[in-house]
Structure 1
Amino acid sequence: MAHLPAPGPTSVRTTGDYYQWLVAWDACLALLRETAGHPQNPIRAVGVELDGAGNLDDVVLLRDLPPHTYMQVKYAVDSSTPVSEDYLTKPSVTGGPSILKKIARTWKGLTADGGSTDLRLVTNRAADSKDYLVAGRDARTGLLMPKAAIGGAKSNRGKARAKWAQESGLTEAELIDLLSVLRFDLSLDMGLYQENLRLLMAVTGLRHDQRALEEGAGWIAKMVREDRRELTLAMVEAAVADLDLKAGPTRAILSIATLKPDPLASDADHAIDWVDRFDGSSDYTKRRPLPPHSWAQLQADIEDTPGHLPAGTTAVSVTGSIRLAPAFLVGTTFRMVTGTDLAAVQRGRAGAQLWSTNDPFDTALAPAVIEHEIGQGDEIAVAIAVATDLSEDVLEYLREQNVPVGKLIVLTPPSSSAHDGSVPDSAAANALTVGIRDHLRRSTRRVRRIHLFLACPMGFAVLLGNRWNRLCQTVVYEDIKIDDGYEAAFTIEA
C-alpha cells in the first residue's frame, strides 16, 4: 500500500478549515435536536467566526440566556504536539500571546459584567499523560477540575498552577475559575469525529452517509464565504431541505454505557454510565456488575429513563455499548404499547445503521424452531440464536443449574444458520422479531415463566424487547463466560 505524501501548507490549512466546519455542523445538529426537545434554555443560533468573541470565536452556541458556549478549534496534522503546559503556554510562531493567554483574555472580557460562560478547546490532539494538570482531566466533563485545584504550592500541581497563572496573566484563584468553565474536548481524530457526526445525523433524523456529512460541512463553508456568521434555526432547516437531508424524526438520545464510554454521551438527553460499575478491565471482559452494584440497580436505572427524557418524547434513539440483556431491557422499557418509536444504533459490516421499531417490512418472518426436551419443570427456556448457535451452552447451564424448565426452544432465522450477518438490516430485524414474538405467544400460552437467552446483534435485542408483550414473566440471562456461564440479570413482566 502506497503511503500518502506529507501534507503541504495548503493541505494543512484546508484540512484545518474542514475540521472547523465539522465542529460548526455538529453545533447545527445540536440546534436541531434541542429545538425538537424543547429544553429550558435552547440554542437559538450557531456562530462561526463570530465578531465580539475574542479568540474563542471559531464556533459559538448562542442561547436565549447565558451561558453561551465559545469554542476554539485547533487541528493538528500529526501527534507531535499533545495538549500540555508547553503547548498551551508557548508564544505563537510570530511571537504573539500563547493559547492560554488568549483564552484567559477572552474569558475576562466575556465575564467582565459578572456573567457566566462556557468555554471549549476542541482539537484532535491528545492529552499529555505526563502533564501535571492536563493528565487530571475528567473524561466525563472535559474539565481539568477538580484535580487541578488539589495540592499545595510546593506540589507538582501547585507549581504547574503558578506557571499557568503567570503565563495567562491571572491570579491562581482566577485560573481556578477559568479552569472550572474551560472544557478540553481532546482526541477528536478526524475519522472518529466524522463517524460520531454521522451517528448524530442519524438520530437527528437526517441522512447519515459520508456524502450527507460532506454536504453539511460544505454548507457551513458556503455560509462563511458569504460572510453569514450567525446561523439561525430557519437557515439550518432551509439547508436541510435544500440538501434533501431529511430522513426521519429527530430523536431524543438515550446513552447507556456498561462496556466503554459512549462518545455520544455528551450529546444525550439522558446518559447512564455504568462503565466503572461493571467487573472487568476491558470491554471484552465487562459482563456483569461489580459488587456492591447489582443487576437490580441497573434495571431500576434503565426503567427510570422515560422520566428523564424531554416531555412529550415520542422518538428515542439508544446509543452506547451494552450487553444483550440490558439492550433487551431498554426495548421492554419503551415497549410498542407506549407508542414510542425506538431506534438503536447498530454497527456492522456495512457501517453504522439506525434500526427503528417503525421501519416498515412486508410480512412477519417466522423463525426456524428446534426444541430440546429437558423435563425439569413446567417453565420454558428460549434461546434466540441469530448471531451464533448457543444451544449447547444453554442446555448445559439449564441442566447443571436444574432450572425448572420442561424444554428449550431455539429460534433462528428461517433461511440461514446463525451468523453475524443473518439479519442484514432494520426491516429484516423487525420482521423476525414479530415472527419470534408471535410464535412464542402461541407456544407459551399456558406457561407462567420464560427463561430467555440471547445471541444476536444489540439492535435486534432492543427491537425484540420493544415487541415483548402479551407474554408471561421473563427472566433474561447474560452470558458471563465464567463461573456458571450464564447469570440471571433481569425479571420482566410481559
Structure 2
Amino acid sequence: MAHLPAPGPTSVRTTGDYYQWLVAWEACLTLLRENAARSHNPVRAVGVELDGVGNLDDVVLLRDVPPNTYKQVKYAVDSSTPVNAEYLTKPTASGGPSILKKIARTWKQLTADGGSVELRLVTNRAADPADDLVKVCDARTGLLMPKAATGGDRSARGKARARWAEEAGLTEAQLLDLLSVLKFDLSVNMGKYQEHLRLLMAVAGLRHDQQALESGAGWVAKMVREGQRELTLAMVEAAVDELALKAGPARAVLSIATLKPDLMAPDADHAIDWVDRFESDSEYTKRRPLSPHTWAQLQADIEAAPGRLPAGATAVSVTGSIRLAPAFLVGTTFRMVTGTDLAVLQRGRAGSQLWSTNDPFETTLVPEATEYEIGQGDELAVAIAVATEITKDVQEYLREQALPVGKLIVLAPPSGKANDGSVPDSTAANALAVGIRDHLRRSTRRVQRMHLFLACPMGLAVLLGNRWNRLCQTIVYEDIKIGDGYEAAFTMEA
C-alpha cells in the first residue's frame, strides 16, 4: 500500500482550518437540536472567531443564561506534541504567552463580573500519560478536577500545580477554580470526530453521510470568509434548507452506556452511564451488572428516563452501547402508545442507519415459527432467532432451570435462516417487529407469563419493545455466556 506523503505547510494550515470548521459545525448541530427539542437553556447562537472574548474565540456556544462555552481548537499533524506541562506552558516561538497563560487571562476576563463559564481545549493531540496533572483527566468529564487538587505541596502533583499556577499568573486556589471549568477534549482525531458528527447530524434530523458533513463544514467556512462571526438559529436553518440536508425530525438524545463510554453522552439531554457497574473490563465481555448493582436498578434508571428528557419531546434518539435486554426495555419504556417516535442508530454491513419506529412499511413480515414441547408448566418461552440460531441453548436453559414453561416458540426471519444480514433496514425491522408481535398476540391469549430470549440486531430489539402491547407479563433474559448461559434481566407488563 502506498503511503501518504508528508504534509506541507499549506496542507497543515488548511487541515487545521477544516478541523475548526468541524468543531463549529458541531456547535451548529447542538443549536439546531436543542432548540427543536425544547431543551432547557438552549444554545441561541454560535460564535466563530468571536470578537471580545480573548483567546478562547475559535468556537463559542452562546446561551441566554450562563455558562457560555468557549472553545480553543488546536490541530496537530502528528503525535509529536502531546498535551503536557511543556506544551501548555511553553511560550510561543515569537516569545508570546503560553497556551495556559492565554487561557487563564481569558478566564479572568470572562469571569470578572462574577459570572460562570465553560472552557474547552479541543485537540487531536493525546494526553501525556507521564504528566502529573494531565494524566488525571477524568474521561467522563474532561476535567482534571477533582484529582488535580489532591496531593500535598511536596508531592509530584503538588509541585506541578505550583508550576502551572506560576506560569498562568494565578494563585493555586485560582488555578483549581480554572481547572474546575476547563475541559480537555483530547485525542479528538479526525476520523472518529467525523463519525461522531455524522451521528450528531442523524439525531438532529439531518442527512448523515460524508457528503452532508462536508457540506455543513463548508458552509461554516463560507460564513467565516464572508465575515459572519455569529451564526444564529435562522441562519443555520436556512443553510440546512439550502443544502438539502433535512431528513427527519430533530430528536432529544438519551444516552445509555453499559459496554463502553458513549461519545454522544456530553451532547445528550439525559445520560445513563453504567459502564463501571457492569462486570469485566472489556466491552466485549460485559454481560451483567457487577454486584452490588442489579438489573432492577438499571431498569429503574431506564424507566425514569422519559421524565429526564425535555418536556414535550416526542422524537427521541437512543445512543450508546447496550446489549439486547436493555435495548428491549428501552423500547417498552417508550412504547408506541406513548406517542414517542423512537430511533436508534443501527450499525451494519451498509454502514450506520437510523432505525425509527415511525418509518413506514407496506406489508408485515411474518416470521417463520417453530414450536417445541417443554412440558414443565403453563407459561410460554419465546426465542427471537433472527441474527443467530439459539434454539438448543434456550431449550437447555429451560430444562436446567426447570422453568414452568409448557412450550418454546422460536421465531426466525421469513426465510427461516438466522444471520446478521436478515434485517437490512428500518423498514424491514418495523415490518418484522409487527409480524412477531402479532404472532405472539395469538399465541399468548391464555398465557399469564412469557419468557423472552433475544438474538437479533440491537435496533430490532428496540423496535420490538416499542410495539410490545396487548401481550402478557414478560421476563426478558440476557445472554451472559457463562455458567447458566442466560440470566433473567427485566420484568415488564404488556
CA shift at 1:65, angstroms?
2.3
> 2: CA distance between counterparts of 1:306 and 1:113?
37
Does the 8 A contact of 2:148 with 2:157 survive in 1? yes
* 1:362 match: 362
Does the 8 A contact of 1:380 with 1:405 survive in 2? yes
SS in structure 2 of the partner of residue 445 of structure 1: coil
SS in structure 2 of the partner of residue 81 of structure 1: coil
The 5 Å alignment of 1:332-411 reads 332-411=332-411
1:220-260 deviations in Å (ceiling 9; x for gaps)? 00000001010000000000010011110110000000000
The 5 Å alignment of 1:234-245 reads 234-245=234-245
Does the 8 A contact of 2:104 with 2:169 survive in 1? yes
* 1:4 match: 4
* 1:116 match: 116
* 1:275 match: 275
> 2: CA distance between counterparts of 1:326 and 1:43?
32
SS in structure 1 of the partner of residue 55 of structure 2: coil
* 2:131 match: 131
The 5 Å alignment of 1:408-487 reads 408-487=408-487
- TM-score, normalised to structure 1's length? 0.99
* 1:21 match: 21
> 1: CA distance between counterparts of 2:84 and 2:444?
62
Query: What one-letter code is carried by the residue in structure 2 that aligns with 1:342?
Result: L
CA shift at 1:40, angstroms?
3.4
Identical-pair percentage: 81
The 5 Å alignment of 1:26-175 reads 26-175=26-175
Q: How many residues align?
A: 494
CA shift at 1:95, angstroms?
2.1
Query: What one-letter code is carried by the residue in structure 2 that aligns with 1:91?
Result: P
* 1:331 match: 331
Consecutive unaligned residues of structure 2, counting only runs of 5 or more, are none
SS in structure 1 of the partner of residue 431 of structure 2: helix
Does the 8 A contact of 1:381 with 1:409 survive in 2? yes
SS in structure 2 of the partner of residue 25 of structure 1: helix
Does the 8 A contact of 2:368 with 2:416 survive in 1? no
Does the 8 A contact of 2:346 with 2:459 survive in 1? yes
SS in structure 2 of the partner of residue 35 of structure 1: helix
> 2: CA distance between counterparts of 1:75 and 1:312?
39
> 1: CA distance between counterparts of 2:51 and 2:81?
29
Confirm or deny that 1:212 pairs with 2:219.
no
Does the 8 A contact of 1:416 with 1:422 survive in 2? no
> 1: CA distance between counterparts of 2:295 and 2:373?
30
> 2: CA distance between counterparts of 1:345 and 1:79?
32
1:326-361 deviations in Å (ceiling 9; x for gaps)? 000000000000010000111111111110000011
Query: What one-letter code is carried by the residue in structure 2 that aligns with 1:328?
Result: F
> 1: CA distance between counterparts of 2:118 and 2:294?
36
CA shift at 1:416, angstroms?
5.0
Does the 8 A contact of 1:83 with 1:126 survive in 2? yes
Query: What one-letter code is carried by the residue in structure 1 that aligns with 2:274?
Result: W
> 1: CA distance between counterparts of 2:8 and 2:55?
25
SS in structure 2 of the partner of residue 19 of structure 1: helix
1:192-230 deviations in Å (ceiling 9; x for gaps)? 010010011001100100000000000000000001010
CA shift at 1:159, angstroms?
0.2
> 2: CA distance between counterparts of 1:295 and 1:68?
38
Query: What one-letter code is carried by the residue in structure 2 that aligns with 1:15?
Result: T
SS in structure 1 of the partner of residue 427 of structure 2: helix
CA RMSD of aligned residues (A): 0.8
1:140-184 deviations in Å (ceiling 9; x for gaps)? 111100011111110111000000011111111111111111010
Confirm or deny that 1:489 pairs with 2:489.
yes
> 2: CA distance between counterparts of 1:83 and 1:459?
38
- TM-score, normalised to structure 2's length? 0.99
1:387-429 deviations in Å (ceiling 9; x for gaps)? 1001111111111111111111110111251111110100000
Query: What one-letter code is carried by the residue in structure 1 that aligns with 2:292?
Result: P
Consecutive unaligned residues of structure 1, counting only runs of 5 or more, are none
1:412-469 deviations in Å (ceiling 9; x for gaps)? 1112511111101000000000000000101121111110000011111000000010
> 1: CA distance between counterparts of 2:46 and 2:423?
40
1:78-125 deviations in Å (ceiling 9; x for gaps)? 111111111111111222111111111111111122222111000111
> 2: CA distance between counterparts of 1:267 and 1:116?
20
Query: What one-letter code is carried by the residue in structure 2 that aligns with 1:279?
Result: E
CA shift at 1:41, angstroms?
2.0
> 1: CA distance between counterparts of 2:408 and 2:40?
51
Does the 8 A contact of 2:39 with 2:269 survive in 1? no
* 1:193 match: 193
> 1: CA distance between counterparts of 2:392 and 2:130?
49
> 2: CA distance between counterparts of 1:197 and 1:39?
19
* 2:225 match: 225
Q: Which moved more, 1:108-117 or 1:305-314?
A: 108-117
SS in structure 1 of the partner of residue 253 of structure 2: strand
Does the 8 A contact of 1:389 with 1:455 survive in 2? yes
1:294-322 deviations in Å (ceiling 9; x for gaps)? 00000011011000000001010000000
SS in structure 1 of the partner of residue 65 of structure 2: coil
> 1: CA distance between counterparts of 2:249 and 2:364?
24
Does the 8 A contact of 1:111 with 1:117 survive in 2? yes
> 1: CA distance between counterparts of 2:134 and 2:154?
18
SS in structure 2 of the partner of residue 330 of structure 1: helix
SS in structure 2 of the partner of residue 202 of structure 1: helix
Pair 1:416–1:3, CA change in 2 (3 A): farther
> 2: CA distance between counterparts of 1:434 and 1:145?
49
* 2:261 match: 261
Q: Which moved more, 1:40-49 or 1:311-320?
A: 40-49
SS in structure 1 of the partner of residue 183 of structure 2: strand
